[in-house]
């Protein structure tokens, strides 16, 4: 049994060891948030052929001049065929193994890719770009298609609700629904969309059951830094009836007075205010969408002067200029992140990466992503010559807005010209 002196020596030894051994360093509180901003995401399957329950039919007896006869295969019939050794049973078993549930990417001369499930097809487009998304604290983009399984398509786009889970799995934090395709499946489809996103844990802004609901800012907090996101659209394809009112659901209109009121309401309770604007002209001709109307510039400056910190736009389906105005970035259009149709307008695009502190924007960067040709189906971060080409194009457009893009290791650092110094334009 230890003596009193032994206990004293042991206690002194513990005290000495605690003094001589440095305490484990505590993780420093995070005082910076990384946000990735993307343009339009659309995965509606305009060029996707879905084969629903095809495996429940047997196409039998095709012959020259005579198409096959469709035979519905139900359990009792299948058991009957098997019992009597009917060749139809073996044919059905063979077809069942070879038929996919989904055949996708019917793109004329382009590839066809087969999937075994809707979920697999929905996960496909964001698989590679998710490596960029997951490094950020917050990822925001514009969801350019309603998510609906029940509502009928009345416009161009309709995406299965399973895509909401794919967005979440890829690292997308929130999406704007304030765009011209939000009501492509009507108001029932809009409600399906909002429910699907909420169920998957993806937040949304810019649409709602009524004006008060749609007008709510999205508040996101990371590491003690509070960010408000507001979203508006200049166009809704069904006309003004698509805009939200006190009595009906819809999307938020790009009304300058409302936007400035909304900024003022939230400005005092957050550190940063971000605006998502679906705006400008879409001209379906190669090169026709790079132009920015002077009224867009005037509106953007007015919103910054009213308290917005960041503006990121879309609708042109190609990237447009970035401008630093009074220290605040304006991305007039970030182009497309993903699309299920391949057109001449699709080209390599950019993501924006912002580092925000409690009291200011610490850095603004551009991340070039693949989007030309079939890459629009599954984008990824670009490197080398393709990355440089995108960034040089961005630098040329930015220079017209007194802004510099410096190219550094496949990224573009965005600076106001007066901050960058006398050398204007792209720097390699």
Q: What are the pLDDT digits (tens) for 163-197?
A: 999 999 999 999 999 999 999 999 999 999 999 99
Burial of 290 (0-12, 13-18, 19+ CB in 10 A): middle
DSSP characters for 86-154?
A: -HHHHHHHHHHHH--SEEE---TTS--EEESSHHHHHHGGGTTTHHHHTTSSEEEEEE-S-B-SSSPP-
pLDDT score, position 27: 41
pLDDT score, position 181: 96
pLDDT at 29 over 50: no
User: Cβ–Cβ contacts within 10 Å for residue 271, how many?
Assistant: 17
pLDDT at 376 over 50: yes
Q: 345 versus 194: which is more confidently predicted? A: 194
pLDDT score, position 28: 37
pLDDT at 30 over 50: yes
Segment 15-30 mean pLDDT: 42
Segment 361-367 mean pLDDT: 98
Burial of 54 (0-12, 13-18, 19+ CB in 10 A): middle
H/E segment holding residue 366? strand 361-369
pLDDT score, position 71: 80
At 385-414, the pLDDT tens digits run 999 999 999 999 999 999 999 999 999 999
d(CA 332, CA 312): 6
The rounded mean pLDDT for the chain is: 86
pLDDT score, position 231: 99
Segment 45-74 mean pLDDT: 68
H/E segment holding residue 330? strand 328-331
d(CA 183, CA 209): 13
Tokens matching residue 308 = 């917005």
pLDDT at 344 over 90: no
pLDDT score, position 248: 97
Angle of helix 294-305 versus helix 256-267 axis, rounded to 10: 30
Q: By mean pLDDT, which of 69-73, 230-234, 320-324 is the weakest?
A: 69-73
Strand partners, 116: none
pLDDT at 149 over 70: yes
pLDDT at 368 over 60: yes
Question: What residue segments make up the domains of the chain, in order of their start?
Answer: 32-47+119-420, 54-99
d(CA 413, CA 407): 6
User: Cβ–Cβ contacts within 10 Å for residue 330, how many?
Assistant: 27
d(CA 184, CA 145): 7
In order of 38, 46, 100, 102, the CA distances from 114 in angstroms are 27, 15, 7, 6
The hierarchical CATH code for the domain 32-47+119-420 is 3.60.21.10
Contact indicator for 184, 146 with CB cutoff of 8 Å: yes
Segment 415-424 mean pLDDT: 68
pLDDT score, position 97: 61
Specify the pairing of strand 174-176 against strand 203-205. Answer: parallel
């Amino acid at each position: 049994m230890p003596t009193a002196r032994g206990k004293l020596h042991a206690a002194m030894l513990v005290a000495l060891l605690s003094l001589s051994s440095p305490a484990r360093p505590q993780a420093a509180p995070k005082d910076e948030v990384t946000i990735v901003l993307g343009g339009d995401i659309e995965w509606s399957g305009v060029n996707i052929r879905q084969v629903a329950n095809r495996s429940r039919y047997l196409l039998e007896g095709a012959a020259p001049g005579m198409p096959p006869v469709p035979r519905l295969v139900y359990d009792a019939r299948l058991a009957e065929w098997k019992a009597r050794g009917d060749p139809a049973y073996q044919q059905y078993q063979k077809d069942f193994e070879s038929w996919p549930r989904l055949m996708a990417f019917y793109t004329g001369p382009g590839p066809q890719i087969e999937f075994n499930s809707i979920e697999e097809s929905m996960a496909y487009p964001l698989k590679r770009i998710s490596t960029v998304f997951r490094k950020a604290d917050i990822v925001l983009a514009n969801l350019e298609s309603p998510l609906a399984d029940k509502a009928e398509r009345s416009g161009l786009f309709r995406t299965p609700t399973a895509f909401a889970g794919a967005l979440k799995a890829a690292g997308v934090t929130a999406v704007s629904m304030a765009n011209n395709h939000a009501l492509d499946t009507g108001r029932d489809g809009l409600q399906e969309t909002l429910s699907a996103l909420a169920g998957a844990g993806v937040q949304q802004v810019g649409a709602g059951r009524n004006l008060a609901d749609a007008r709510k800012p999205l508040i996101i907090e990371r590491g003690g830094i509070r960010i408000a996101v507001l979203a508006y659209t200049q166009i809704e394809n069904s006309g003004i009836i698509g805009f939200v009112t006190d009595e009906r659901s819809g999307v938020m209109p790009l009304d300058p007075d409302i936007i400035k009121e909304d900024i003022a309401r939230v400005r005092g309770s957050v550190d940063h205010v971000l605006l998502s604007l679906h705006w400008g002209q879409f001209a379906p001709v190669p090169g026709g969408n790079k132009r920015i109307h002077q009224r867009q510039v005037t509106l953007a400056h007015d919103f910054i002067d009213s308290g917005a910190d960041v503006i990121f736009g879309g609708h042109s389906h190609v990237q447009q200029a970035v401008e630093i105005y009074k220290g605040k970035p304006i991305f007039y259009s970030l182009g497309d992140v993903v699309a299920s149709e391949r057109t001449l307008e699709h080209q390599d695009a950019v993501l924006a990466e912002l580092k925000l502190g409690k009291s200011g924007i610490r850095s603004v960067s551009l991340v070039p992503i693949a989007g030309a040709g079939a890459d629009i189906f599954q984008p990824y971060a670009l490197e080398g010559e393709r990355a440089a080409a995108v960034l040089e194009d961005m630098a040329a457009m930015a220079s017209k807005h007194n802004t510099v893009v410096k190219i550094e290791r496949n990224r573009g650092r965005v600076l106001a010209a007066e901050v960058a110094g006398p050398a204007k334009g792209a720097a390699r």
